[in-house]
Amino acid sequence: MADLSSLLEARYGTTSSGSAAPPAASIAANLTLQTLLQHKSVRSFLPDPLDPGTLEILTAAAQSAATSSNLQTWSAIAITTPSLKSQAATLCGDQAFIRAAPLFIIFCADLARLTTTCAQHGTPGTGLQFLEMYTMAAIDASLAAQNATVAAESLGLGACYVGAARNRPRELASLLSLPPRVVALFGLAVGRPDPGAPPATVKPRLAQDEVVRRETWGQTDESQQKKGAANLAAYDEALADFNTKQGRGDAPAWTYRSAHRIATVESLHGRDIFREVLEERGFKLR
């Protein structure tokens, strides 16, 4: 088993002042922590189908995640048929790794099931009119998906989330015959990592104190702003170091790339209509 210090160092990268990782303290490592900390997005898959029972275990892991008030406001579609998977891939940013993966799961916010229970018991379902319920469903679906991902990785499989499932939401809903009040939020490609491809790597993240704050957000005074700017500059440096080691020394800085990723309507790759599609699909957003 890897020691926690080296896992943390890979996760936070290196700046000119050394490792950006927090100290590992005295927490005992375990295989689950190792699986979590070593996560990397895998985009090169062997074509082999998954072992029988794999989808059932991923499903059980997903369903084992917490769900708000046990309402279970999510659903998923597991696609394995090559022709259908290829069409889904086309709609999801036309990404070849989705076609290559033996399993592509589309996770959905699902308020259709609750609509059924309301009809069954003659209640008005007024709560369904509010953005709150879309929020709840998106959270439920995401907790479930992350458990499926961790389960897959514990079995030696690789996975990659596909936010591009929101790029052409009308067409994807049509392809999958989604009913009203169900919307695809993201995909998850799953398969056995191709040992012949360049190995996926652990990508450094922002410094811990940039992301998780203590007790309150902290004052928005000048010293805090300086701290934030220093954190972003250090992260630009850590990612540049990482990219150089990966042979991508010419990659733009994170702050630059992230600013451009959301600069224009076009940079959303079609997702500017997502709210409109949600409303078409029967999600009320009061």
CB count, 10 Å around CB of 201? 12
Give the pair of three-digit tokens for residue 280.
């078409």
Separation CA 201–CA 10 (nearest Å): 9
Closer CB to a second copy, 75 or 194, in the complex = 75
Closer CB to a second copy, 100 or 188, in the complex = 188
Closer CB to a second copy, 66 or 96, in the complex = 66
Closer CB to a second copy, 170 or 203, in the complex = 203
Closer CB to a second copy, 195 or 212, in the complex = 212
Q: How far is the CB of 194 from a second copy (least distance, A)?
A: 19
Contact assessment for residue 164 and residue 65, using Cβ atoms and an 8 Å cutoff: no
Q: How far is the CB of 212 from a second copy (least distance, A)?
A: 5
Q: How far is the CB of 215 from a second copy (least distance, A)?
A: 5
Q: How far is the CB of 17 from a second copy (least distance, A)?
A: 18
Distances from the Cα of 111 to the Cα of 18, 127, 138, 228, angstroms? 49, 11, 10, 39
Q: How far is the CB of 246 from a second copy (least distance, A)?
A: 13
Separation CA 175–CA 87 (nearest Å): 8
Of 113, 133, 108, 77, the residue nearest 185 (C-alpha)? 108
Q: Where are the beta strands (DSSP E) in 43-157?
A: 74-79, 103-110
What angle, 0 to 180 degrees and rounded to 10, lies between the N-to-C axes of helices 222-245 and 254-261? 100
Closer CB to a second copy, 96 or 229, in the complex = 229
Q: How far is the CB of 251 from a second copy (least distance, A)?
A: 11
Three-state DSSP class for 7?
helix
